[in-house]
Amino acid sequence: MKADPAARFQRVTQVARRATISRWRAACVATCLALCAPASCGDEKPGPSDTDAADSCTGEGDSYKVGLSKTSNAASFTVELVDANPAPPGVGTNAWKLRLKDGGGNAVVGAIVNINLYMPKHRHAPAGTVGADRGDGAYDVTDLNLVMPGLFDVTVEVTAPGHMTDSAQFQFCVGRKGD
């Protein structure tokens, strides 16, 4: 059988991709194992050293408060974090209420709101989600999944009628639930 260079290239690419994915996965698993290494893993109240191991980003990122607001990169919007559950943001499923305003302070309605996640220290991007339009500039995010402890960049990408797509970033150091 004649070797097909295109097929061979595809196979090599696939193998390389798979290797990248498995390396990525291994790094992730290693991180999780390191976090769960203490015998106390699963305890309700981790000790101080355990907590440090859990986040390794203490003091970094935004300090959560009700009404924390960010201006988008091109200053088209402000994105206000009106409410968060849990507060501050924690590992697992998070529910956020956002309020969007344009540069003139008017409610942004009918926008497509994508929430993108990235963990800068782990260098991977967990799956994000979307915000549901509740009218009058209010958008509900019900299933923001912060999959593990660590530093998260939470990018709110807004595409609204009459505006260029623009993004605002929050950054949170996420600890274990109950921290």
Please report, as residue ranges, which positions from 97 to 126 form the binding site for Cu ion (by CB under 5 A): 119, 122
Please report, as residue ranges, which positions from 135 to 164 form the binding site for Cu ion (by CB under 5 A): 148, 150
Cβ(168)–Cβ(131) below 8 Å: no
Torsion of CA 110, 81, 152, 25, to 10 degrees: -50
Give the x-and-dash track for 25-44 against Cu ion (CB under 5 A): --------------------
Nearest distance, CB of residue 117 and Cu ion, angstroms: 9
Answer yes or no whether residue 53 interacts with Cu ion by CB under 5 A.
Answer: no
Nearest distance, CB of residue 151 and Cu ion, angstroms: 9
Nearest distance, CB of residue 58 and Cu ion, angstroms: 16
Residue 169, strand partner residues:
155
Nearest distance, CB of residue 37 and Cu ion, angstroms: 16
The nearer residue to Cu ion, 113 or 174, going by C-beta atoms, is 174
The nearer residue to Cu ion, 57 or 111, going by C-beta atoms, is 57
Nearest distance, CB of residue 97 and Cu ion, angstroms: 25
The nearer residue to Cu ion, 101 or 122, going by C-beta atoms, is 122
Give residues in contact with Cu ion (CB under 5 A): 119, 122, 148, 150
